[in-house]
């Protein structure tokens, strides 16, 4: 069902992510740090492979068409009518984060909210979302608002029957960016270990501190 624009379903206590032995409550917004494409592919394959088997709606944004093609191979079910058609949606930054040649938080928060609503209309009871955040390294208008967007995303995911994985390559992002990103995620995943983040700041607190 939908309450004030947010999708809310009856939920289990925890959901297995498919990544090692990591299980999280629905509504979790996780920052996953990794190094290199092999580690990234392992995270995405485990996470979405488990979701597809469980019958979850899976929505992913990745940096390159090659990565998108590899992920699409996970969904090998024959096409046909039914609530679980189009179970896996894979997008690129050009049609999502950077649509129109710039990044805006409002546009992306709307994208995720509308896709959660759409999923329940398609008959799904749970969603797995993921974004490879390398797009934010491009020299494009609006990318400086990355941390603010990540903070606001908690308002979309909290209480929803969904889990969100945001992927950051530690070989590419600077320490300054990583420090701010950590503050916007309640949970951090590093080398298969999930940490409840003591540095997390809720959206109101984080955005207030950023303005100050």
Render pLDDT for 131-190 as a digit per residue (tens, 0 to 9).
Answer: 999 999 999 999 999 999 999 999 999 989 999 999 999 999 999 999 999 999 999 999
Segment among 32-36, 44-48, 80-84, 187-191 with least mean pLDDT? 80-84
Domains defined for the chain, CATH in brackets = 24-74+85-211 (3.40.50.300)
**Other Cβ atoms within 10 Å of 128 Cβ, number:** 23
Q: Does residue 80 or residue 180 have the better pLDDT?
A: 180
- Residue 78, pLDDT above cutoff 70: no
Answer yes or no: pTM beyond 0.75.
yes
> pLDDT grade, residue 71 (50/70/90)?
very high
In the chain, which ranges are continuous DSSP H helix? Answer: 37-54, 65-72, 105-121, 146-157, 175-183, 203-211
């Amino acid at each position: 069902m939908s309450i004030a624009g947010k999708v809310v379903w009856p939920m289990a206590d925890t959901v297995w992510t498919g990544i090692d032995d990591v299980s999280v409550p629905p509504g979790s917004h996780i920052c996953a740090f990794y190094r290199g494409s092999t580690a990234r592919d392992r995270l995405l394959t485990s996470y979405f492979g488990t979701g597809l088997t469980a019958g979850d709606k899976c929505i992913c944004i990745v940096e390159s068409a090659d990565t998108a093609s590899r992920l699409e191979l996970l969904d090998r079910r024959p096409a046909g009518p039914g609530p679980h058609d189009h179970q896996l949606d894979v997008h690129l930054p050009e049609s999502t984060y950077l649509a129109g040649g710039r990044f805006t938080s409002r546009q992306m928060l709307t994208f995720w909210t509308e896709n959660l609503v759409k999923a329940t209309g398609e008959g799904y009871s749970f969603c797995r979302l993921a974004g490879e955040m390398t797009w934010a390294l491009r020299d494009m208008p609006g990318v400086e608002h990355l941390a603010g967007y990540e903070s606001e995303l908690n308002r979309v995911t909290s209480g929803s029957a969904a889990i969100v994985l945001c992927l950051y390559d530690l070989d590419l992002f600077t320490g300054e960016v990583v420090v701010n990103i950590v503050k916007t995620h309640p949970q951090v995943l590093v080398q298969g270990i999930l940490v409840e983040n003591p540095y997390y700041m809720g959206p109101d607190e984080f955005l207030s501190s950023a303005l100050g």
